[in-house]
Copies of this chain bind each other. A is one copy, B any other.
Amino acid sequence: MSASFAYRRRVQFAETDLAGLVHFSMFFRYMEEAEHALWRAAGLTIARAGELTGWPRLAASFDFKAPLRFEEEFDVYVNVAHVTRKTMEYTFRIACGETHVGEGRIKTAFVSKRPNEPMRILELPADIIERLRSAAGD
């Protein structure tokens, strides 16, 4: 099994719903939090207010295998899985102790977003990809 970047997190009360479990939409936030922790581990930050570039999501998915509950601690493992000239896909695996909680994907692109212009997809910056891959052990 290959290396991954690991991000540890605890379930907060407001993240649960009346079914007593973490709401399914939260897993997309957990994946993104792990992505941003990977950027920090690579000495980078993914966003600054007012910037004219960004990393919007093209697609996101998650397969739910086991629920998470209030106050449980879990790990989100991130890898940089597929990189093309203009898109990057992360894969994620969530585990709570021995329990496999699920796995997901987020596909992203690098865009220019000038005021009053449509977003324009740019080539991925090679140095950023290299640093992320390296921080993820890929």
Q: How far is the CA of A46 from the CA of B19 in the complex (A)?
A: 11
B25 touches A32 (CB 8 A): yes
Distance in Å: Cβ of A32 to nearest Cβ of chain B: 6
A18 touches B13 (CB 8 A): yes
With contacts A49-B70, A56-B64, A71-B36 taken as known, whether A14 is within 8 angstroms of B25 at the C-beta atoms is yes
Copies of this chain per assembly: 4
Task: Say which size band chain A's interface belongs to.
Answer: 35 or more
Distance in Å: Cβ of A93 to nearest Cβ of chain B: 15
Q: Is A17 an interface residue (CB 8 A)?
A: yes
Consensus secondary structure, chain A interface: loop
Q: Which residues of B contact A25 (CB under 8 A)?
A: 14, 25-26, 28-29, 32
A50 touches B20 (CB 8 A): yes
Residue with the highest number of chain B CB atoms closer than 10 Å, among A24, A33, A48, A50: A24
